[in-house]
Copies of this chain bind each other. A is one copy, B any other.
Amino acid sequence: MRCAAAIEARQVNELAINVDPIQAGGRLTADAMKAVIAYGDGYSVCDNCRKPNRLDYIAKPPIAGFHKDLAAWLNMDAVRTVPGARRAFQAVAQTYVTKGDPVLLTSLSHYTEFLAVEEAGGIVREIPANPENIVTPDAAAAKAEEVKRDCGRAPVLAIIDHVDYQYGNMHDVKAIAKVLHQYDIPVLYNGAYTVGILPVDGKALGVDFVAGSGHKSMAAPAPSGVLAATAEREKEVFRTTSIFGDVTGRKFGIKEPAMMGCTLMGATLIGLMASFPRVKERVKHFDRELANNKIVLDALLSVTGTRVLSEMPRKHTLTRVDTTQSFDKVAQVHKKKGFFFSSALEEKGIVGIIPGASRVWKFNTYGTTEAQAKYLAQAFVDIARENNLPVT
C-alpha cells in the first residue's frame, strides 16, 4: 500500500512489536496523530502570531502555556523547543565554545555531541567510563584536572548523557555536575533517553541545561526536541539578538540567535504538545517498563551463553546483549548466517533488531504491554529451542 507515488505506507508499529532501540519512545500518541493531521501545513501554528512575533509567545494554539508547563515539568526556569536534541547541543556549544576550547564528553557520548563541539571549533576530551561502563564523578574530576594540566584551563562545557545510547546505562549526573561545577564548567544534561521516559528534575540534578528529544523519547514527529536552562544560563544561551543592518538600521527585537529566531513550528511542535499530557503521565510508570524489560531479559538469559552487557539490574529499557555464545552459534552454521535471527523474529512479528546482528545487539522494550513482553520472552526462547540451543 502506497501513501504517495513512490512511498510505501509505513505500518511497522501497526503490524509488529517493534523493539528498535531509538524508535521505542518516539511513537506518536493517538492525540499527536490527530494533531499532526490538523496542523500538517507548513506554518500551521502561526495563524495567530501577534506581537512580539515570536513563536513561543503564541497563545492559540497554546504554545506559550506549553513552554511554561514544560519548564515546570523539568523543574528548570526556561525552555525552548528545537529541531532535535542535537540542535540543543549545537546552541549551547555555540554559546560557550570557541576555537580550540576543550569540552568534556564521555567515552559513551553520542556522536551528535561531538559534531556540536566540532562545529563550534572545540576539541573533545572524553571522561572514561569505568570497566562496568559507568561514568563516575571521580573520573569526571580526574579528567577535568587532566584538561587543566594539558590545556592550561578548565573545560568550557560538559555534556553528560544521563542514560547512554550504547548500553542504556544510567550515570550519576547529579554527582558529576557537582564535581564539574567546582571547576565552573556549565553542565548540559543530555536526556535524549530520559526526558519523556522517566522523571527528570533539573534543579535536583543541579545541571545548567536539560536537553531532550521529541522524536526519540517524547512521542513526537522528527525533528523535535527541547532545551531547558536555569535562570542564570537562560540569559546566555537564550540571549536576544544584537545584530543590525548598517543601511536600514534594522534590529530584530527579542529573536534569539542561538535559536535561529522562531523555534519549532508546525506539525513537529504540535505533536510534542499533543503528546505532552500522556508523556507527563507515562514517566510516572517507568517501573512497569522495567518490569517488562526484565521479563524479556530473563528469557534471553535463560538461553545458555547469553550475556547482558548493560548494567544489572537494569535501570533503563534500552539494553545491550551479547549472544555470541548463544544465537550466534546458530548463525555460524545457518544458511542465512546472522540474518537467521532477525528473520526468525520477523516471522513471529518482532522487528527492530538490526538484520544480520547475532552477536552484540541492542533492543528497547519501552512501551510494550506486559502481554507483549511475555510474547517477546517466549519468542526468544522458542527461537533458541527451534535451533537446538540449550535453555535453562
Interface of A is mostly: mixed
Query: A96: CB under 8 A from chain B?
Result: no
* CB-based contact B62/A43 at 8 Å: no
Query: If the complex has contacts A5-B277, A8-B60, are A25 and B37 also in contact, measured as CB distance less than 8 A?
Result: no
List the 10 shortest-distance A-B pairs measured between CB atoms, nearest first. A26-B42, A222-B266, A42-B215, A4-B274, A83-B83, A222-B265, A221-B267, A4-B31, A118-B243, A126-B247
Please give me the residue from chain B that is nearest to A219 by CB atom.
B42
Cα of A186 to Cα of B191 in the assembled complex, Å: 38
Which of under 10, 10 to 19, 20 to 34, or 35 or more describes the interface residues of A? 35 or more
User: What are the residues of chain B within 8 A of A7 when measuring CB–CB?
Assistant: 35, 38, 61-62, 270, 273-274
Chain B CB count within 10 A is highest, among A13, A40, A214, A215, for: A40
Q: Hey, which chain B residues are within 8 Å of A107, CB to CB? A: 245, 247-248
Partner-contacting stretch, out of A251-259, A289-297, A301-309 = A251-259
Interface residues of A in 307-363 (CB under 8 A from B): 351
Q: Are A245 and B38 in contact (CB under 8 A)?
A: no
Known: A61-B8, A62-B6, A274-B7. A115 touches B41 (CB 8 A): no
Q: List 18 A-B contacts (CB under 8 A).
A: A4-B274, A6-B61, A8-B61, A9-B38, A12-B41, A12-B44, A20-B47, A22-B42, A22-B43, A23-B43, A42-B221, A83-B87, A90-B260, A107-B245, A114-B244, A114-B250, A222-B266, A223-B266
A376 within 8 A of partner (CB): no
B255-A115 in contact (CB<8A): yes
Say whether A260 contacts B37, CB under 8 Å.
Answer: no
> Does A86 reach chain B (CB closer than 8 Å)?
yes
| Chain B residues within an 8 Å CB radius of A223 | 83, 223, 264-266, 268
Contacts of A219 in B (CB 8 A): 42
A 10-43 to B, binary, CB cutoff 8 A, 1 in contact else 0? 1111000000101101111001111111111111
* Distance in angstroms between the alpha carbons of A94 and B267 in the assembled complex: 28
- Chain B residues with CB under 8 Å of A38's CB are 3, 7, 9-11
| Chain B CB within 8 A of A84 CB | yes
- Max count, chain B CB within 10 A of own CB: residue among A25, A62, A260: A260
Given the complex of chains A and B, what is the CA–CA distance between A87 and B21 in angstroms? 28
Q: Is A137 an interface residue (CB 8 A)?
A: no
B37 touches A245 (CB 8 A): no
A221 cross-chain contacts in B, Cβ below 8 A = 36, 40-42, 44, 221, 266-268
CB distance from A186 to the nearest CB of B (A): 18
Identity of the chain B residue whose Cβ is nearest the Cβ of A218 in the assembled complex: B42
8 Å CB interface, A181-225 against B: 213-216, 219-223
